[in-house]
Amino acid sequence: MTGTLYIVAAPSGAGKTSLVKALLEQLDELEVSVSYTTRPPRPGERDGINYHFIDREGFQRMVAAGEFLEHAEVFGNFYGTAKANIFERLRAGIDVILEIDWQGAR
């Protein structure tokens, strides 16, 4: 069985998070992808739950190795979605939604 990949892409502040939150409340079978970022955690954020927090060097190594499905620089920080995480869930039949900046969707 194969899951479906949904992508919500828009600039920062456009309401992506609100839209994804509403979808997750309505659709039990949908999982949100956890992105990698080089920005520091905000209060209350947890590694592996909200983001995978990584240093710039580690992020650049992942880019060079082709490990990201998409990646972008937003306000001086890098964000990216790891291919392995997405493909593993899709192969398991899990529907996944990406909440990404418009730059990553290009």
Phi/psi of residue 50, each to 5°?
-85, -45
pLDDT at residue 106 in the model = 63
Mean pLDDT of the chain: 93
Per the structure block, which two tokens stand in for 60?
């650049």
Bridge partners (DSSP) of residue 79 are 37, 72
Q: What is the mean predicted confidence (pLDDT) over 80-91?
A: 96
Residue type, 28: D
Nearest to 85 by CA among 46, 40, 41, 35: 35
Sheet holding 30-32, edge to edge: 5-10, 95-101, 30-32
The structural domains of the chain, ordered by start, are: 5-105 (3.40.50.300)
pLDDT at residue 6 in the model = 94
pLDDT digits (tens, 9 = 90+) for 15-45: 888 999 999 999 888 999 999 999 999 999 9
